[in-house]
A and B are shown apart, each in its own frame.
Chain A
Amino acid sequence: MKSKNDNRKNNKMFKDNETIDYLIIGNSAAGLAAAESIRELDKSGEIMILTGENYLNYSKPMITYFLSGTVNLDMIHFKDDKFYKDNRLDVRLNTRVKSIDTDKMFLITDDGNRYEFRKLLIASGGRPIVPKIKAIGTKSSGFIDGTNYDKTEGIFTLTNLEDAVRVKNYIEKNGIKNISILGGGLIGLKAAEAFLEKGIDVNIIELADRILAATFDREASGIIEKKLKSTGSNIYMNNTIEEIHIGSGKITGYKLKDGEKMECRLLVIAVGVNPDTGFISSGSLDMARGIIVDDHMRTSAKNIYAAGDVVEGPDMISGGKRNIAIWPLAVRQGTAAGLNMAGGNKKYGGGFFMNSVELLGIPSISMGITNVAEEKEGFEVLKYLNTNQDMYRKVIIKNNRIIGVILVNNIERAGIYSGLIRNEIDISSVKENISREDFGIIHLPADYKKHLVVGEGIEV
């Protein structure tokens, strides 16, 4: 793929300064969706993708499937070589962006190259959060944090394939039988599931009083906890790691906040992800937690767009801007960004949080706002709980519109809820049916039902 660059006709004054039509930072969901959309409208423009990773293509959410062995490295890609070829995408691997000049429209990479662009998309995704933890036995600082955790053997984050490959190799090389996971969120639990599937015991340390606190309510968390515990895993709630013990450059154990000391040869830190915006100099783009974009995925700088986990885009439920780092929205944002970059006019309608995860054989889906105090004014909560089958269904309603849903175990037809949220359907006429176990289209308000049944597929 790089050869294409070399073959380019040398008809410009400064070879290195040749301007690229569409430059994309990031080679994952948003970046590739954008590339594909650009190509749809612009058959000839040059598209270049820069990525800091050294794999041509893989699906980030699938790395835990890789860990568990469900997929191997051949199967983990979500776009094949043909996709890159058909869309004529010039991908530069191991090319990390160092800085961007938003005015003069060029960027500099870690390796010192300078790339001028006409249009830029920042789809750099997220970076794992590594909290600052006291380290005992380390040669240097006495702390580990985001800058140095990877210097200690046995401490990993788990957000990209390289991480997963390293974890996998480390387990195999060292015959690891027990893994501690800092963080009982989605990544932590997906990792836990992968390890459990491989027959490795798991300790989960969660700061909150329950796992999946961000996306689940107490009942839903309880179902998963119960299941996790039944596998023999330990969950340490209201807890965190206070100090990490290191010997010969390797982790040997840690001490919990409550004082308990644990042996540990492999620690996965999965407390969360932040938008990867380190290469953006402050003041050059409007930023909050992530890059702020408008409904056309434009940043505050001309000709610079952003999409995916790195942005704060319109949130359908709150009406404000929010960083919602989920795959479907990354694709949708990338698509919108790409079309707009290539001269189209595609509005991104906003999104809301949703997540599907199957843990220990229990499928669950959550979407929108899932934790509200029932007594809080204006909210209405409908619940269906079948304790025998650990079946749980919860629907949160505000102003007769659904704003959040949790489904555990029975996730069939979950998408109907996301449709109701997305289309802001008034469900007051069908409230009594909304949380029933066999909920279906037939229970929907007549107009919307008709739209679904007689229509011919949604136009997003």
Chain B
Amino acid sequence: MRERHGDCKMKKIYIQEEYCIGCRLCEIYCQVKHSKSKKIIKAFKEEMIDILPRVLVEEIGYNSFAIQCRHCSDAPCVEACISGAMQKNKNTGVVTCDEDKCVGCWSCIMVCPYGVIRRNLSGKKIASKCDLCIDEEIPVCVQNCPNEALKFMDKDAKEKNPVGTKTGRKNEK
């Protein structure tokens, strides 16, 4: 019933599972993005122990998809957070976990119906989740998906061009 935070205009990552090819480049680039050096080879060869991908690829046979935080309108993780670490930015709509405030109670993991929040135990226990690469124009998982199984767009754009269907506009000459 509520139009919170102008969610319609918020750009989100949409998933086209029929085109996920299970290459896991999204995970790889997510890890690089959230590494210290942000350099892929260095990140993997030297820093990887600290880095969790914030996008999860699920795969059985030829079915696969990559999923990350949906940045829900009424985000249950924000509701469940006892420390105030999990916040939904009222302007951007992005749900982020303030790692300084997070105490690792895992309430967010308990309530996230997508199961896309993970425990990061590398340092202080904190919940790790997609931050929508807020400093990038397009999140790196979307940028690096070789088959556009992930798309970054706002709701209007999504409705205009529904994911997974073709426009098939006829050329009227």
A–B touching in complex (CB under 8 Å): yes
Residues of A within 8 A of B (CB): 33, 40, 59-62, 65, 70-71, 75, 77-80, 327-328, 331-332, 335, 339, 344-346, 354-358, 363, 365, 367, 411-416, 418-419, 422-423, 440-443, 452-460
Supply 12 further A-B pairs (C-beta < 8 A) apart from A79-B84, A332-B79, A415-B112.
A59-B82, A70-B103, A75-B101, A328-B76, A354-B110, A357-B105, A411-B110, A416-B114, A418-B111, A441-B115, A456-B70, A460-B74
From B100, which residue of chain A is reached at the shortest CB distance? Answer: A75
Please determine whether A442 and B60 come into contact, CB atoms closer than 8 angstroms: yes
From B61, which residue of chain A is reached at the shortest CB distance? Answer: A442
Please determine whether A365 and B76 come into contact, CB atoms closer than 8 angstroms: no
Please determine whether B119 and A363 come into contact, CB atoms closer than 8 angstroms: yes
Q: What are the residues of chain A within 8 A of B81 when measuring CB–CB?
A: 78
Q: How far is the CA of A166 from the CA of B116 in the complex (A)?
A: 38
In the complex with contacts A453-B15, A453-B17, A415-B114 CB distance below 8 A: yes
Q: How large is the interface on B (under 10, 10 to 19, 20 to 34, 35 or more residues)?
A: 35 or more
Q: What are the residues of chain B within 8 A of A332 when measuring CB–CB?
A: 79
Residues of B within 8 A of A (CB): 1-2, 12, 14-15, 17, 56, 58-60, 63-65, 67, 70-76, 79-84, 100-101, 103-115, 117-119, 125, 155, 158, 163-164
Please determine whether A71 and B15 come into contact, CB atoms closer than 8 angstroms: no
In the complex with contacts A345-B1, A453-B65, A458-B72, A59-B109 CB distance below 8 A: no
Please determine whether A331 and B79 come into contact, CB atoms closer than 8 angstroms: yes
Please determine whether B113 and A414 come into contact, CB atoms closer than 8 angstroms: no
Please determine whether A59 and B84 come into contact, CB atoms closer than 8 angstroms: yes
Please determine whether B84 and A454 come into contact, CB atoms closer than 8 angstroms: no
Q: What are the residues of chain B within 8 A of A65 when measuring CB–CB?
A: 103
Q: What are the residues of chain A within 8 A of B1 when measuring CB–CB?
A: 339, 344-346
Query: Can you report 24 residue pairs joining A to B where beta carbons are below 8 Å apart?
Result: A60-B82, A61-B82, A62-B105, A71-B103, A328-B79, A328-B107, A331-B79, A358-B125, A411-B106, A412-B109, A412-B118, A440-B58, A440-B115, A441-B65, A442-B58, A442-B64, A453-B65, A453-B67, A454-B14, A454-B163, A457-B70, A458-B70, A458-B72, A460-B72
Please determine whether B115 and A416 come into contact, CB atoms closer than 8 angstroms: yes
Q: How far is the CA of A346 from the CA of B4 in the complex (A)?
A: 14
Please determine whether B80 and A441 come into contact, CB atoms closer than 8 angstroms: no
Question: B58: which of A327, A339, A441, A455 is its contact (CB, 8 Å)?
Answer: A441
Please determine whether A78 and B83 come into contact, CB atoms closer than 8 angstroms: yes
Please determine whether B106 and A452 come into contact, CB atoms closer than 8 angstroms: no
Q: How far is the CB of B94 from chain A (nearest CB, A)?
A: 12
Please determine whether B80 and A331 come into contact, CB atoms closer than 8 angstroms: yes
Please determine whether B84 and A356 come into contact, CB atoms closer than 8 angstroms: no
Please determine whether A365 and B113 come into contact, CB atoms closer than 8 angstroms: no
Q: How far is the CB of A87 from chain B (nearest CB, A)?
A: 12
Q: How far is the CA of A367 from the CA of B112 in the complex (A)?
A: 13
Q: How far is the CB of A373 from chain B (nearest CB, A)?
A: 25
Please determine whether A442 and B79 come into contact, CB atoms closer than 8 angstroms: no
From A438, which residue of chain B is reached at the shortest CB distance? Answer: B58
Please determine whether B115 and A358 come into contact, CB atoms closer than 8 angstroms: no
In the complex with contacts A327-B82, A442-B58, A453-B65, A412-B115 CB distance below 8 A: yes
Q: How far is the CB of A83 from chain B (nearest CB, A)?
A: 9
Question: A419: which of B74, B107, B113 is its contact (CB, 8 Å)?
Answer: B113
Q: What are the residues of chain A within 8 A of B65 when measuring CB–CB?
A: 441-442, 453
Q: How far is the CA of A458 from the CA of B70 in the complex (A)?
A: 8
Which of B60, B103, B118, B158 lies at the interface centre, i.e. has the most chain A CB atoms within 10 A of its CB? B103
Please determine whether B12 and A415 come into contact, CB atoms closer than 8 angstroms: no
Question: A328: which of B2, B80, B103, B118 is its contact (CB, 8 Å)?
Answer: B80
Q: What are the residues of chain A within 8 A of B115 when measuring CB–CB?
A: 412-416, 440-441
Q: How far is the CB of A233 from chain B (nearest CB, A)?
A: 21
Q: How far is the CA of A346 from the CA of B1 in the complex (A)?
A: 8
Q: How far is the CB of B168 from chain A (nearest CB, A)?
A: 19
In the complex with contacts A456-B155, A457-B72, A59-B110 CB distance below 8 A: no
Q: What are the residues of chain B within 8 A of A345 when measuring CB–CB?
A: 1
Q: What are the residues of chain A within 8 A of B114 when measuring CB–CB?
A: 415-416, 419, 441, 452
Q: How far is the CA of A304 from the CA of B105 in the complex (A)?
A: 33
Q: How far is the CA of A61 from the CA of B112 in the complex (A)?
A: 19
Question: B83: which of A59, A346, A358, A454 is its contact (CB, 8 Å)?
Answer: A59
Q: How far is the CA of A119 from the CA of B67 in the complex (A)?
A: 43
Please determine whether B107 and A356 come into contact, CB atoms closer than 8 angstroms: yes
Q: How far is the CA of A460 from the CA of B88 in the complex (A)?
A: 15
From B17, which residue of chain A is reached at the shortest CB distance? Answer: A453
Please determine whether B76 and A458 come into contact, CB atoms closer than 8 angstroms: yes
Please determine whether B70 and A415 come into contact, CB atoms closer than 8 angstroms: no
Q: What are the residues of chain B within 8 A of A40 when measuring CB–CB?
A: 2
Q: What are the residues of chain B within 8 A of A454 when measuring CB–CB?
A: 14-15, 17, 163-164
Q: How far is the CA of A298 from the CA of B158 in the complex (A)?
A: 39
Q: What are the residues of chain A within 8 A of B15 when measuring CB–CB?
A: 453-454
